[in-house]
Structures are given as C-alpha cells and as structure tokens.
C-alpha cells in the first residue's frame, strides 16, 4: 500500500512538472549568451502567447556546429555575425527574409543596411553591433593614446588586457602595420606575428569574457576590448577613456536570420519584429550597451565613428590555418 502511494506521489510529481501553460505556438531561438535580458523573452511569451525555446552559443563556429549537426527545423531564429551570415548564405542554411512581414523594419537606421556580407539584406537584418576599441585609465596613463602602436611602449609592461580572439587580434595587428585587416600574405602575417609578440610583452592577460573586470579590479590600465565592455567599465569608473584606434577598428554585426526548413515561420517573424520595437530595443541596450541599429534610440557611440574606419572579419578560406598557427606561435 505504502509503495503504491509513493509511486502515485511520484507520478503526480512528474505530471506536475510537465503540464505547462498552453501556448499557441513555439519559436526556437538560438542566440549569443548574455545578449537579451530574460525579461524581454518572458514579455514576448506573455504578449503573443508563444513559447520561446531559447538556447545560447558563445562563438559563430559553435552556432554553425549546432545548426549543421541538428535536424532541419530544430531552430528557427539565429543571430550569426557578419562573416558567418555570408558563410551561411553560401552553404544555403538560411532563407531569404520577407521584409513586408516586419512592421518595425522602418526603425532600422539605413546606415546599418547593405553591408558587404549581405549586400541587399536579402537574408539578414542587423540586430546589434559592437566595435573593438582601446580603453585606458586616465588616472594612471598620462600619455596620449591614439592607436594600437601606442600600446607597444615599454612603460606598459604587464598592463594591458587584450581580447582573446584570434581573428580580431591578428586583424588589428595587421591594421597597426598598415595592412588590410584580412590580409593573407605569408610575409605580412610574419610581420604581424612579430608585432603581436611585442604586444604580448605588455599584455597581462587575453580575455574575451569580461575584460572590464580587469579595469574594475585595477589589474590593468589599458585594454583592447569590445565597446560594450568598455562602456560598462566606464560606468564603474569615470576615469576610463575610450579611444577609436586611428589605424582602424574591427566591427562585428550580429544579425536576425531565419533558418531554412523552419516550421514556425510566422512566429519567427513575430519574434524578430518584436525585438525591433523601440521599447524592446531600448530594454536590451539598457542591460547590454551594444550599438543598436534602431534609429529611434540614442547610442553612446557616434555612428559615423563606427562605419568610417571600421572593418569586418571576412572568410579567408584555407588561410585560416596560417592564422591558427600564428596564434599558436604567439601564445
């Protein structure tokens, strides 16, 4: 008798766990981690009565691996960056976007459209963007910092935090030398390697996850980091100055895309349209200070600064192996 009771209780517990509110539909979203506040997702679920299955990834390559290794239709909306959009179009993973289904399409500032990785925005629309900047603590650094080459000064030994991102960091060393950010010439890459070895002498740590922490704990006075991180560091410490490197900076743009074979196309459009709304965009920016393409929102960074001297990471084919080796040599 006791056993039966226990089993009954257990079964009740299980049904208690699985019985859910009834939704009208679902949308399967895969996005970067720490990118959309939970509140934004739950408001969407309430408003449209659509369940959001939300998964995250931490690199474009992880996204590609997740999408290509699972059955078509597993995910509906994903947020690849610039070069990954191009690659996904080439591989035929994402489908053309029907902009007539997006009532908030006109909120996008045209300066963000027609980027080189998807010329007419047939497949993608900008979601959020960020650039790589130099940040430094005015309290301790009295010199004038204008670009990457200023960071090689021997005074800054063990005083810099650098993004742990091989394409971006090799790219900026190439820019520092006056070359293209996506250069593949072996000799120029060799020069970049030497440049980066010099920078390493001054580097305290390579970190992509939270370089702002290094500033907040006074570990370093200089850093090469994402603008959003630099702004967060600035919020904690007013003396942090943000510099747009004169040699050029890397831009990264993450985009709304819908995967081929989606079974929830209408919900996918609803979800994208919802994120494009002014109030929702504002909520996201308030939490994570990236650069929003929404023209009704004021960004903390001048938009001309972003595009005038900004360059995207591009697909470089087999040369990626040389980059990988170069990176291994530096470390």
Partner 1 sequence: MKNKVLKRIVLFPIIAYALLLILLPLVYILFLSFCQNDSYGGMIYHFTLSNYLSIFDITYIGILLKSSLIGLVTTFLCICISYPFALVLRERSKNVQNLMTKLIMIPFLTNSLIRTYGWIVLLRKNGVINSALIGTGLIHEPLGLMYNNLGIIIGMTYTLLPFMMLPVCSATFKIDNNLIEAAKDLGAKPLSIFKNIIIPETLPGVFNGSLMVFMPAIGYFFISDILGGGKAMIIGNLIKNQFLTARNWPFGAAISMFLLIITFLLIYIYRKLGGKLDDLGGM
Sites of contact with partner 1 (CB under 8 A): 59, 61-62, 64-65, 68, 87, 90-91, 158, 164, 166-167, 200, 203-207, 217-219, 315, 317-318, 320-321, 323-325, 327-329, 331
Tell me how far, at minimum, the Cβ of 293 lies from partner 1, in Å.
Answer: 26
Tell me how far, at minimum, the Cβ of 311 lies from partner 1, in Å.
Answer: 19
For residues 304 and 235, give the distance between their C-alpha atoms in angstroms, rounded to a whole number.
Answer: 23
CB-nearer residue toward partner 1: 223 or 293: 223
CB-nearer residue toward partner 1: 173 or 299: 173
| 40 touches 280 (CB < 8 A) | yes
Tell me how far, at minimum, the Cβ of 59 lies from partner 1, in Å.
Answer: 5
| 167 touches 255 (CB < 8 A) | no
Task: Enumerate residues 6+ apart whose C-beta is below 8 A from 81.
Answer: 60, 252, 253, 254, 255, 313
Tell me how far, at minimum, the Cβ of 207 lies from partner 1, in Å.
Answer: 6
Tell me how far, at minimum, the Cβ of 320 lies from partner 1, in Å.
Answer: 6
Give the H or E element holding residue 130: strand 125-137
Task: Enumerate residues 6+ apart whose C-beta is below 8 A from 63.
Answer: 30, 57, 78, 79, 80, 84
Length of the chain as a residue count:
331
CB-nearer residue toward partner 1: 137 or 267: 137
CB-nearer residue toward partner 1: 44 or 83: 83
| 244 touches 175 (CB < 8 A) | no
Residue 303: is it exposed, middle or buried by C-beta count within 10 angstroms (0-12/13-18/19+)? middle
Residue 294 is given by DSSP the state B
CB-nearer residue toward partner 1: 103 or 158: 158
Neighbours of 127 (CB within 10 A): 29
Mapped onto helix, strand or coil, the DSSP state of residue 32 is strand
Tell me how far, at minimum, the Cβ of 87 lies from partner 1, in Å.
Answer: 6
CA angle in degrees (0–180, nearest 5) for 272-276-280: 110
| 82 touches 313 (CB < 8 A) | yes
Tell me how far, at minimum, the Cβ of 325 lies from partner 1, in Å.
Answer: 5
Tell me how far, at minimum, the Cβ of 85 lies from partner 1, in Å.
Answer: 13
Instruction: For residue 119, give the nearest of 91, 143, 96, 148 by alpha carbon.
Output: 96
CB-nearer residue toward partner 1: 106 or 325: 325
CB-nearer residue toward partner 1: 210 or 282: 210
- What does residue 123 show for φ and ψ, rounded to 5 degrees? -115, -20
Tell me how far, at minimum, the Cβ of 89 lies from partner 1, in Å.
Answer: 12
CB-nearer residue toward partner 1: 236 or 321: 321
Instruction: For residue 50, give the nearest of 24, 22, 28 by alpha carbon.
Output: 24
CB-nearer residue toward partner 1: 51 or 167: 167
């Amino acid at each position: 008798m006791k056993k039966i009771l226990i089993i009954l209780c257990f079964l009740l517990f299980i049904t208690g766990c699985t019985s859910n509110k009834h939704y009208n539909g679902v949308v399967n979203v895969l996005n970067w981690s720490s990118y959309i506040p939970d509140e934004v997702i739950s408001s969407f679920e309430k408003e449209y009565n659509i369940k959001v299955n939300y998964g995250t990834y931490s690199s474009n390559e992880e996204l590609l691996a997740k999408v290509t290794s699972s059955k078509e239709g597993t995910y509906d909306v994903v947020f690849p960056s610039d070069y990954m959009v191009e690659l996904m179009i080439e591989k035929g993973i994402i489908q053309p976007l029907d902009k007539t289904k997006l009532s908030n399409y006109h909120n996008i500032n045209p300066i963000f459209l027609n980027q080189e990785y998807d010329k007419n925005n047939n497949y993608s629309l900008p979601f959020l963007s960020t650039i790589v900047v130099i940040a430094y603590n005015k309290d301790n650094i009295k010199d004038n910092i204008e670009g990457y080459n200023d960071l090689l000064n021997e005074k800054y030994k063990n005083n810099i935090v650098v993004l742990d991102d091989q394409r971006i960091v090799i790219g900026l060393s190439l820019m520092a030398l006056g070359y293209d950010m996506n250069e593949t010439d072996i000799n120029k890459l060799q020069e970049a390697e030497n440049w980066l070895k010099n920078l390493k002498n001054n580097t305290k740590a390579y970190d992509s996850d939270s370089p702002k922490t290094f500033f907040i704990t006074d570990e370093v006075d200089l850093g090469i980091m994402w603008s959003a991180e630099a702004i967060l560091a600035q919020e904690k410490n007013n003396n942090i100055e943000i510099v747009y490197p004169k040699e050029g900076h890397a831009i990264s743009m993450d985009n709304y895309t819908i995967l081929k074979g989606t079974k929830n196309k209408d919900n996918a459009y609803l979800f994208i349209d919802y994120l494009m709304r002014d109030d929702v965009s504002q909520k996201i920016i308030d939490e994570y200070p990236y650069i929003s393409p929404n023209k009704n929102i004021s960004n903390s960074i001048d938009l001309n600064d972003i595009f005038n001297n900004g360059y995207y990471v591009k697909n470089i084919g087999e040369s990626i192996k040389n980059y990988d080796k170069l990176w291994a040599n530096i470390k």
